[in-house]
Amino acid sequence: MRNLKVMTAYRGTEYHGFQRQTNAVTVQEVLEKAVSKVLNEPVNITGCSRTDTGVHANNFCFNVKTESSIRTLGFCRGVNGELPDDISILSCEDVPLDFHARYDCKGKEYIYRMHCRESKDPFSSDLAFHYRRRFDVEKARAAAAHLVGTHDFASFCADCTNVSTTVRTIYSLEIENSGDSVIMLVKGNGFLYNMIRIIAGTLLDINEGKLAPEDMPEILAARDRLRAGRTAMAHGLYLNRVFYSEDELLGDI
């Protein structure tokens, strides 16, 4: 028996998230069909995270156990040959049998992309949120600074019923812009359901004057979803990196 650690990237536009569902096409379903065909055995893959409908991934990890002796390069080439153009295998390596893509994950990094201009960008309609206003990066940075560190993020969780704690640590939250493009880059030890999208939506509400940067501490303290801002659209969100060691997670902070 072997355990393969596989990195993949996907465009989430056509999928109802990563996790398999009975009534909708998901990334996991498509991957399992392709991997099963190449390994010539039925498989269940274990993903590092659940992503919502329309959310993308630059790097997403899954592991799969197999009796196959296929070489890792052959696995990559073979599975890529079976996948549609919006999903790609990036790498594959043998790991210990007890490696678990989800439970061994030490942290993740997400990107939220926005196109801030009155006119839409026809080349990124499903890859970045179209925001028809000027975005005040400095105001957003002032607000985001309050979220860095260890806090109770219940106010930024759409559904907290299935988690034992809503305390999370954000190691960095950077906001950059280039021309009409604005990128929010967030790294943390874990994230609650819709947490990144609610943070992004709250920054949009702050940009529009509905909230102020100095409101952030009170929003956190309230532990009330209604105190935070809107939930930003899913298609601007990307799982960017997944970390499996503390050194890797904290190395560039």
Kindly indicate the confidence band of residue 162, based on its pLDDT and cuts at 50, 70 and 90. Answer: confident
Question: Do 125 and 236 lie in a common domain?
Answer: yes
Question: Do 119 and 230 lie in a common domain?
Answer: yes
Question: Do 83 and 190 lie in a common domain?
Answer: no
Q: What CATH number is associated with residue 112? A: 3.30.70.660
What is the pLDDT averaged over residues 69-94?
Answer: 97
Q: What is the pLDDT of residues 16-69, one digit of tens each?
A: 999 999 889 999 999 999 999 999 999 999 999 988 999 999 999 999 999 999
CB 115 within 8 Å of CB 198: no
Question: Do 64 and 116 lie in a common domain?
Answer: no
Q: What percent of the chain has pLDDT over 90?
A: 92
pLDDT at 222: 96
Task: Tell me if 101 is assigned to some domain.
Answer: no
Question: Do 151 and 29 lie in a common domain?
Answer: no
Average pLDDT, the chain: 95
pLDDT at 246: 86
Q: What is the pLDDT of residues 3-20, one digit of tens each?
A: 999 999 999 999 999 999
Annotation says 52 is catalytic: yes
Q: What percent of the chain has pLDDT over 70?
A: 99
What is the pLDDT averaged over residues 113-119?
Answer: 95
pLDDT at 15: 96
Question: Do 116 and 83 lie in a common domain?
Answer: no
Task: Tell me if 102 is assigned to some domain.
Answer: no
Structural domain that includes position 43 = 2-95
95, 130, 156 — which closes off a domain? 95
Question: Do 134 and 220 lie in a common domain?
Answer: yes
User: In total, how many domains does the chain have?
Assistant: 2
Question: Do 117 and 216 lie in a common domain?
Answer: yes
Task: Tell me if 100 is assigned to some domain.
Answer: no
Kindly indicate the confidence band of residue 198, based on its pLDDT and cuts at 50, 70 and 90. Answer: very high
Question: Is the confidence at residue 160, as pLDDT, over 90?
Answer: no
If DSSP states are collapsed to H, E and C, what string results for the chain?
CEEEEEEEEECHHHCCCCCCCCCCCCHHHHHHHHHHHHHCCCCCCEECCCCCCCCEEEEEEEEEEECCCCCHHHHHHHHHHHCCCCEEEEEEEEECCCCCCCCCCCEEEEEEEEEECCCCCCCCCCCCEEECCCCCHHHHHHHHHHHCEEEECHHHCCCCCCCCCCEEEEEEEEEEEECCEEEEEEEECCCCCCHHHHHHHHHHHHHCCCCCHHHHHHHHHHCCHHHCCCCCCHHHEEEEEEECCHHHHHCCC
61, 95, 129 — which closes off a domain? 95
Question: Is the confidence at residue 249, as pLDDT, over 90?
Answer: no
95, 121, 142 — which closes off a domain? 95
Q: What CATH number is associated with residue 41? A: 3.30.70.580
Question: Is the confidence at residue 215, as pLDDT, over 80?
Answer: yes
Of 52, 104, 136, 159, which residue is the catalytic one?
52
pLDDT at 183: 97
Kindly indicate the confidence band of residue 253, based on its pLDDT and cuts at 50, 70 and 90. Answer: low
Question: Do 119 and 206 lie in a common domain?
Answer: yes
pLDDT at 121: 92
